[in-house]
Amino acid sequence: MADAALVDNRRALIAVIAAVTAMAVSLSLSIPLVSLLMEKRGYGSDVIGLMGALPALSFLLASPVVPACTRVVGSGKMLWGSLILAALSIWALSWSDNIYFWFFLRLMIGLSMAVLFLISETWLNKIAREKTRGRTIAIYISSMTCGFAFGPVLINFLGAEGSLPFIVSSLIVMSAGFAFLIVGDRFPDLGEKSSYSIFSFIKIAPMISAATLLVAFFDGSVLTLLPVYGVKNGQALEMAVLMTSALLAGNILLQLPIGWLADRFDRTKVILGCGIVGVLGALILPFVVLEPYLLWPLLVIWGGGVVGTYTIALVVMGQVFKGGDLITATAAVGMLWGLGSLFGPVLAGVAMEVVKPHGMPLTFAAACLLFVLVAASHLRRSRKA
């Protein structure tokens, strides 16, 4: 029986990681594609930016209702439904040029994203063993980041015109269904009720909440604005674009070592260390932005360290919350992620205009410092307890 359960858990781990990676590839292919096509058709950057904010808005709106819907419908039907909705919505982007239709479709894609990611992360934490939880979550984050990094590369092969890119993106989403076929009908039972609400989660778990907001801010603003920051500070356009690639490389390469540290040492100390890396990286960036031998290693370490805060936050969440509380905690994290992704780019963009030319890294340094204070406070309380 124990061996059978172990095999089922391994199949589930493979299914979750494969499905989320496929969704990441598809999203990172279709989202820039929509922006490029809108720009070619003469839409302003304000409309394009609004379109780009819709997935974050979907997370913000959908996350509070996912736990209740999962209890009623079941996790398996919710996961299959999210795949079908995402695939159809992405394919439908090629049916019409109507901008209002595209806005509706992007909301549907964001909704399917919210369902898939929230249930998958709950499932992952539910089956992860405590001894290797850090490494398991790290593999998940690294694989998902690989997916997001690979999607834009496909645009170079598929082009940005016609129906083909959208059809391929839709098929990539549906390929995640093969991962779910591996587990048969052994989807997680997430029907237990939680002992608290999503909105009380911030008070219960301030460190996890702060880490989520921080990395959503990083993902939505720093990754987006870093090439602009590089150009404004004298980098050639080609090199400025590669700065984002260096950050992503850090996200991919350093999560497993960070997960290993989380399995060996006090997890609050590890997440605190990641936050300090975030502060230092943001403060050092203005001094090395034109020094390639210093810039590239800094970006790799900085990107890996900042995203490491979210990796450890998920690890701690799976360690602390169980049963129905776990999906409520994951839904709360999804809502916070939507909030950070929605307002982060606006805040960083304004900072770049007000404090020229280093407003973006200074704003992020302040955000990281706030997180470090929250993590340090959590460490003090846990020592007293």
Q: What is the pLDDT of residues 220-248, one digit of tens each?
A: 777 667 777 787 788 776 777 778 788 88
pLDDT attached to residue 312: 92
pLDDT of residue 76: 84
**71-99, pLDDT tens digit by residue?**
888 888 888 888 899 889 888 888 887 78
Which positions ≥6 away from 84 have C-beta within 8 Å? 174
Dmax over CA atoms of the chain, in Å, equals 63
Give me the residue label for tokens 């960083």: 348
Share above pLDDT 90 across residues of the chain, in percent, rounded to a whole number: 17
pLDDT for residue 6: 54
- Best CA proximity match to 26, nearest among 81, 93, 124, 78: 93
CA distance 233 to 290: 8
Asked if pLDDT for residue 199 goes beyond 70, the answer is yes
How many CB atoms sit inside 10 A of residue 15's CB? 24
Can you name the CATH fold of 198-384?
Growth Hormone; Chain: A; (1.20.1250)
Mean pLDDT score across all residues of the chain = 83
> 178: which 2 tokens?
């093969």
31, two tokens: 């989202």
Domain boundaries, the chain: 2-182, 198-384
pTM of the model as a whole: 0.88
What superfamily would CATH give domain 2-182? MFS general substrate transporter like domains (1.20.1250.20)
In this chain, the answer to whether the domains covering 2-182 and 198-384 adopt an identical fold is yes
Please state at what angle helix 2-40 crosses helix 133-158, rounded to 10 degrees: 30
Mean pLDDT of 45-64: 75
pLDDT digits (tens, 9 = 90+) for 252-310: 899 999 999 999 988 889 999 999 999 999 999 989 888 888 989 999 999 999 999 99
**Taking 80 as the threshold, does the pLDDT of residue 137 lie above it?**
yes
**Per-residue model confidence (pLDDT) at position 202:** 82
pLDDT of residue 48: 67
Say what the pLDDT of residue 198 is.
Answer: 78
